[in-house]
Structure 1
Amino acid sequence: MNTIPGTAPEDLRNRLVDAILQEDVSGLRDAGVETAMRTVARHAFLPDTAVEEAYANKSVTIKENPDDDALPLSCASQPDVVHFMLVQLAVREGDNIFEIGAGTGYNAALLKHLTGKSGQVTTCDIDPDVTAYTRRMLDTNGYEDVRVVTRDGALGASRFSPYDRMIATVGMWDLPDAWWDQLAVGGRLVVPLRWRGLSRAVAFQREEKVMRSDSVKMCGFLPVIGQDGEQNDYIDDDRLVRLYWDEDQSIALALLRDVLTRPKSVAWTDVTVGPVESFDGVWLRLSATERTTCRITAKPAAMKAGLHRPASPALSPALVEADSLAYLALERTAEDPEGEPRFRLGAVGYGAAGADLAERICAQIHAWNPARTAEPVVTAYSADTPDSDLANGAVIDRPSVRLVIAY
């Protein structure tokens, strides 16, 4: 194991936790989680990683994907995300916990620390290489009592249920039926949930017939194997601009093949952001109001070829209707060129309905502006719930659940 000369791992660990709390990205705090992260040695679960890397606030790959164009198969999650998701989970002493996505075993060790001697932790992964690594790391570090099972996490582990807490450390597109069956009423589920091209760590409280969120935070996770409900393809002949959408959306890609060559409409608002201010809440607002919300990505060559730059070329929200498209955009304002830069938000539309779509994006920018940190409520219902029993909001259908996103 590599170390920094003269620097103890305990010092690095405390510095990492101090930095997470100081930056306070999520706004979530819990003394028990803080103590757990100061106690459990992350570097011990990453024996092939330099200690300074183990205590950097970033993810660490533990199993690469043989496909060069694909994401890794397993990672140790970024520590600040680990922190706020554990706060969302609100573990109590004695809880019975199920984790989907075993990873290094570090998160399971934190869960065991939180639930104490009287609690139980079961972690699972579909990949036997990953679970073998997890088992070895947990045993090496004194967590022999944590269960490790090799199976599809969507199936849960009914043998050890019901669970008081369930947490997924892989991106989920659906909430499997088995989770409903195995999570006790009154229990909590924290899951990186994907919808309309975005990903959020959603903390659900399990009620008798629904799961209702009380915390929705930005995150990014490797997608779970076996849930392929998100579609994607290029919309230009040069393969520079790609669209991502959900299978429940009526998007005909053939109608969009030449959309970026059609007349362009640009609409700006008077809403501005600084260089480090997040405007991601606009996307959430769109997902709660516009059924056609999806995601667009553009390679640098697309802007060089004349595409109006999306707000974030790597991932920006977009609206699509028939043969028209619009997406979120920003540009630096001309005010006070010597001061801190400000950027105004707007939208760019292409096609016959592009101007209307751009104005609809601007409407959600204005709705977001006075309440920038407001979070939607995500309510999950069983897939057979009739429309009449759903709360008001945007309905997103999945094989196992009906999601309602509302402000």
Structure 2
Amino acid sequence: MHTTTTSPEALRAAMVERIRKAGHAQRSEVERVLLDTPRHEFVPDADLAVTYDPWQAVVTHRFDDGRSLSCASAPWLVAAMLDQLDVQPGNRILEIGAGTGYNASLLAQLTGRADLVTTIDIDPDVTAKASQALAATGYGDVHVITGDGGHGYPDHAPYDRMIATVSPWDIPAPWWQQLAPGARLVAPLRWRGQGRSVSFTYTDGRLVSDSLHLCGFVYLRGETEGELSGPITADDKVKLHWDRDQAVDLNTLGGVLDQPRVTAWSGITIAPNEGHDGFWLRLTVTDQRVCRISAHPDAIPEVVNPIGGYWRPALVDGGSLVYLTARRLETGDDVHWELGAIGHGPAATELTEHLCDEARAWSPERDHYEPRLVIYPADIPDSELGRPVFEKTHSRFVFTYDCISE
């Protein structure tokens, strides 16, 4: 139901202006297609104000338990990923995750021919509605395929551009095989609990990144799960999430939060509007033990008291656990948050000091860093890789986080 009296065109123009001010839709062609495309026709059941809110995703399908199955991504993220993809006229494109069809319509405009765009989704209800919306808006020549996106779509390969709007833990082997030399791939990848939209160029048999954006997406269905998770409290209200190549044993961690709480403070502060994701990103390079902790609101702060936000880093070492926390500091009108660490278990004191030391090492370079992810096929030998290596099923991730001069 559309309750606002402002026209869709005016709402769309305001949306694009706000996205531009936030640093996205920097490519003029991306700005143009966002302005020209009636997003509300792809999410007809959503309120217009929500549809054209730059920061708001619109959930269109849910699992029986209420979890999001498919959605229209927030417009700022759509713009950011299209900037990353850098579509050129005549590019052949594969989209994994059909969503509402909105993104496929943007891709069709960017490449100049709808029949050069293929979008695939495992859910037939999703593809049926995407097909209807694309046909109704003039993009019926887009190829909408019902199938496992992890397999790509070889019939139209090779692709000059490939974009995933669902989050894979790995780069599936078929994707490697369906990329043209020099192709660009944009995918919201996961490693060590993080989720990042990463843009790559496919060159010399490897994928080399040139930008990363913090984000969260519905996971790629049908993928053999590489991120594991499990509760560390009897009531399941506190959970850990880790990669399968990490040494985490929930049996060893049993009752860890019942042990005394050890707290340490780093002396490092962040502004109220400054995230801690850069610290976590660096930590994935410097400490292979980093993973993610999540907690039900009922468990905060009595059981655990992690830093706010969805992304909450933790370290596990045997039967010991430490996680990032923060406390509010006020000096007159000046408000900051000091980073700290809370630990439990035999090595709690050592681990809390270690996490604070990591914050101190990160802070001087926080505005002067260059993260880069290079992905190799799984059969690449150790002698050709740097460190650290994140072991996946079909590939090996090598991540670096280097301080650069101004």
Alignment TM class, shorter chain as reference: over 0.9
Q: Report the counterpart of residue 314 of structure 2 in structure 1.
A: 318
Identical aligned pairs, as a percentage? 44
**What are the Cα deviations for residues 279-330 of structure 1, in whole angstroms up to 9, with x where unaligned?**
11111111112111100112333235353x1112644100101011111111
Q: List 4+ stretches of structure 1 deviating above 4 A.
A: none
User: Is residue 2:401 matched to residue 1:398?
Assistant: no
2:278 to 273, 278, 281: 281
Map 1:34-53 → 2, pairs under 5 A: 34-53=31-50
- Say if 1:63 and 1:306 are closer, same or farther in 2 by CA, change over 3 A: closer
Q: Report the counterpart of residue 65 of structure 1 in structure 2.
A: 63
Map 1:332-347 → 2, pairs under 5 A: 332-333=328-329, 335-336=330-331, 338-347=332-341
Once the two structures are TM-superposed, the CA of residue 179 in structure 1 deviates from its matched residue by 0.6
- Partners in 2 of 1:82 and 1:194 — Cα distance? 18
Letter in 2 for 1:11: A
- Partners in 1 of 2:326 and 2:243 — Cα distance? 25
Q: Report the counterpart of residue 18 of structure 1 in structure 2.
A: 17
Aligned residue for 2:251, secondary structure, equals helix
Superposition CA RMSD, Å: 1.7
Once the two structures are TM-superposed, the CA of residue 356 in structure 1 deviates from its matched residue by 2.3
Once the two structures are TM-superposed, the CA of residue 28 in structure 1 deviates from its matched residue by 6.6
Q: Report the counterpart of residue 8 of structure 1 in structure 2.
A: 7
Aligned residue for 1:342, secondary structure, equals strand
Q: Report the counterpart of residue 124 of structure 1 in structure 2.
A: 120
Letter in 2 for 1:340: D
User: Is residue 2:262 matched to residue 1:268?
Assistant: no
2:158 to 156, 162, 180: 162
Map 1:5-404 → 2, pairs under 5 A: 5=5, 7-24=6-23, 29-57=26-54, 58-68=56-66, 71-117=67-113, 120-227=116-223, 228-307=225-304, 309-312=305-308, 314-333=310-329, 335-336=330-331, 338-373=332-367, 374-390=369-385, 392-404=386-398
Aligned residue for 2:140, secondary structure, equals coil
**What are the Cα deviations for residues 141-175 of structure 1, in whole angstroms up to 9, with x where unaligned?**
00012111111111111111110000000011010
- Partners in 2 of 1:119 and 1:33 — Cα distance? 19
Confirm or deny: 8 A CA contact 1:262 1:351 kept in the other structure. yes
Letter in 2 for 1:347: A
- Partners in 1 of 2:8 and 2:353 — Cα distance? 53
- Say if 1:247 and 1:118 are closer, same or farther in 2 by CA, change over 3 A: closer
- Say if 1:259 and 1:51 are closer, same or farther in 2 by CA, change over 3 A: same
- Partners in 2 of 1:180 and 1:244 — Cα distance? 27
- Partners in 2 of 1:313 and 1:259 — Cα distance? 23
Q: How many residue pairs are counted as aligned between the two chains?
A: 398
- Partners in 2 of 1:314 and 1:200 — Cα distance? 13
Confirm or deny: 8 A CA contact 2:187 2:198 kept in the other structure. yes
- Partners in 2 of 1:303 and 1:4 — Cα distance? 37
Letter in 2 for 1:92: Q
**What are the Cα deviations for residues 47-74 of structure 1, in whole angstroms up to 9, with x where unaligned?**
2222222112311111121123xx2211
**What are the Cα deviations for residues 114-146 of structure 1, in whole angstroms up to 9, with x where unaligned?**
111387111110111111111100000000121
Unpaired runs of at least 5, structure 1: none
Confirm or deny: 8 A CA contact 1:318 1:326 kept in the other structure. yes
Q: TM-score, normalised by structure 1?
A: 0.94
